[in-house]
Amino acid sequence: MKLTRFAAAGLMSAALALMGGVALAQDAPSVLVTTINMTADDIPTIDPTLSETVTSVDVLNHLFPGVTMSDVATGELELGIATAITPTPNDDGSVLYTIDLLEGVAWVRYNAESGAVEQVTDADGNPLFVTAADAVYGMTRALDPATAAPYSYVLLPFVTGAPEFNAGEADASTLGVSIVDENTYTILAPDSAAFAPAVFGLWMARPVPQIAIDAFGDSWTDPANIATYGPYALKEWVRGTGGSISVVVNPFWAGAENIPAATIEEVQWRFLDQPQAFAEYEAGNIQAIDVPVDQVPRVQADPVLSAEYYRGVEPCTYYLGFDNTEAPTDNVHLRRALSYSIDRVAIADNVLQIGWIAAGWFSRPGLNAAPTPELNPDLGVTFDLEFAQAELAIALEELGIANAADLSLTYSYNDTARNALIAQVIQQQWTENLGVTVAVNPMEGSTYFSTISEEHPGIARVGWCKDYNDASNFLYDVMYSQSSQNDVNFSNAEFDELVSQARLMTDTEERRALYARAEEILNEEEAAIAPLFWYAVNSLIKPNLEYVPSVVTNQAYNEWSFSG
């Protein structure tokens, strides 16, 4: 059957295309077409459990909102489809979280024949609603080693029994997740990390429809098979470059306290490269795009485009990792010399010109409990030539090298135009400021990422973006000595103590003070890494749209509207 379908599809569509073909539906004014956060490649999946890219999460947030969500405008954590999350501390330090779900949230599916969103029913025709069982199933499915969910590891420290179950050493019954009643379930967390509710709301922990997954297997996310519950419902998914994914308003979504029902009738994400998205924006066919970086100066200078231009926060940090255990970068004075001799402001303002901010430390300001330039004005690495040269002199003496030019250093990066540009400027600054000759080593992406995990190449470019909105996601999850993400092999007892302690505290200002001290150790005293930039996003949005500027990368289109 499938052969005939394949062959017939090819021949028929060739014929159709030549005869004039079927016209695509004309965009009604109620449709928002966007490429923000998209790339030229198809979205890998919209299965919440299996997602790992910004593209996936941006779409699935509208279909499967979590029990908690980050407010797009402030980044603050708020309740999503939960009406309450109640922590009950136990004597052993563990915490039982009781999660009450919003009642009457319907599972829905778009019917392509009738053109309407319909409720999903069970075999007897009774409509199905999101229950505690769906939430527990979603969590269990994410942690099941058979699922091989790439992002499941983020959940592991927050659910009792999860590491053992995920490693295949225990079965699902040992997992600290239980159903209490129709709309209530509990999660037992092994410790009192205050931001655990943020993790419980992440995409891989979202409720998913077991009935659809059991019936349709891997094809359950096809528009004809899927069941969703958020403010939008999946309408169509054209796979591949230039394709698109479309969602329409879900009339059964009554709105949660922080997740309003949508006003824009239909949202379509298109998979285009940035130059093509820009061309379509100029042609008036796309209403919201990321600006191609080489076009930012032009956009800012253009009287029309500059009025539609928006520069926002992206919660990511760009940094150089030094191998802390192998010569010569195991020498702290050399690391300090390298870090303090980079003029970050000059690179950001004169070379990049895309709104990136010179970073003095690792955890991006704006994250919960992260230090900020306003509250911690003296913190962080700066451009200090005198100090850098003094440190270099000590380093050379300790390393027994007579001349700075005899140092053998290699700066590796995954080869993109931007990474190459930054590498070349830093290479030049090191030569001018320190007299050090550094070789730059561009590598193909996949090779590079496996290399820095397995055998760190001395000096390497890295980027880190938040999973959940807390400084712990940067400082503990990446730089803790035992973290699987700690590619630079940084290990400092005081740092470990600080980030472990801050992780379990509740008062934000007290935590911020500990993180500020931890950052001081990481970047200034040990110079384990050289933080370089905090990212920014550059968007163009048509003037007839009322939008909510996002500080969390992902967008909430259910909060947008056409202004007429």
Task: Provide, rounded to whole angstroms, the least separation between the CB of residue 519 and another protein.
Answer: 20
Provide, for the chain, the percentages of residues in helix, strand and coil under a 3-state DSSP scheme, each rounded to the nearest 5.
35, 20, 40
Q: Which is nearer to another protein, 26 or 403 (CB)?
A: 26
Instruction: Say how many residues touch another protein, by CB under 8 A.
Output: 80
Which amino acid is located at 315 in the chain?
A: P
304 forms part of the interface with another protein (CB under 8 A): no
DSSP 223: T
| DSSP 3-state of 165 | helix
Nearer to another protein, 148 or 307 (CB): 148
Residues 516-535 that bind another protein (CB under 8 A): none
Instruction: Assess contact for 323 and 456: CB atoms under 8 A.
Output: yes
Q: Which of 76, 118, 191, 273 binds another protein (CB under 8 A)?
A: 273
Is 435 a binding residue for another protein by CB under 8 A? The answer is no
148 binds another protein (CB under 8 A): yes
Contacts of 466 by beta carbon, 8 Å cutoff, 6+ apart? 315, 316, 364, 367, 473, 474, 552
Q: Which of residues 8-47 bind another protein (CB under 8 A)?
A: 9-10, 13-14, 17-24, 40-45, 47
**What's the angle, vertex CA 188, arms to CA 495 and CA 66, rounded to 5?**
90
Place of tokens 């503990």: 476
* Shortest distance in whole angstroms from residue 529 CB to another protein: 15
Asked if 279 interacts with another protein (CB under 8 A), we say yes
Residues between 52 and 91 with contacts to another protein, criterion CB under 8 A: 52
Q: One symbol per residue from 149 to 188: x for binding another protein (CB under 8 A), - otherwise; what is it?
A: xx-xx---------x--xxx--------------------
Query: Is 88 or 453 the residue whose CB approaches another protein more closely?
Result: 453
Q: Closest CB to another protein among 68 and 221?
A: 221
Nearer to another protein, 81 or 422 (CB): 422
Residue pair 111/118 in contact (Cβ under 8 Å)? The answer is: yes
The residues with which 96 forms a beta bridge, in sequence order, are 88, 188
Comparing CB distances to another protein, the nearer of 23 and 417 is 23
Q: What's the rounded Cα separation, in Å, for the pair 370 and 519?
A: 10
The verdict on 112 binding another protein (CB under 8 A) reads no
- Taking a C-beta distance cutoff of 8 angstroms, is the pair 355, 336 a contact? no
Ranges of beta strands (E only) in 350-437 are 357-358, 409-414
- CB 182 within 8 Å of CB 131: yes
- Minimum distance, C-beta of residue 238 to another protein, in the bound complex (Å): 6
SS3 34: strand
Residues between 436 and 455 with contacts to another protein, criterion CB under 8 A = 444-453
> Nearest CA to 268 among 277, 256, 260?
277
What sign does the dihedral 192-194-196-199 (CA atoms) show? Answer: negative
Q: How far is the CB of 101 from another protein (least distance, A)?
A: 26
**Alpha-carbon span 434 to 402, nearest angstrom:** 14
- 255 is a contact residue toward another protein (CB under 8 A): no
Task: Give Rg (Cα) of the chain.
Answer: 25
Query: Tokens 């992406």 sit at which residue?
Result: 445
For residue 287, the minimal CB distance to another protein (Å) is 14
Is 138 in a helix, a strand, or coil?
Answer: helix
Q: Which stretch binds another protein (CB under 8 A): 76-84, 214-222, 393-401, 405-413?
A: 214-222
Cβ-based nearer residue to another protein, 7 or 116: 7
Pick 217 or 564: Cβ nearer another protein:
217
The nearest distance, CB 552 to another protein, in angstroms, is 17
User: Does position 312 bind another protein by CB under 8 A?
Assistant: no
Closest CB 50 distance from another protein, rounded Å: 4
Residue among 272, 514, 532, 540 that touches another protein (CB under 8 A): 272
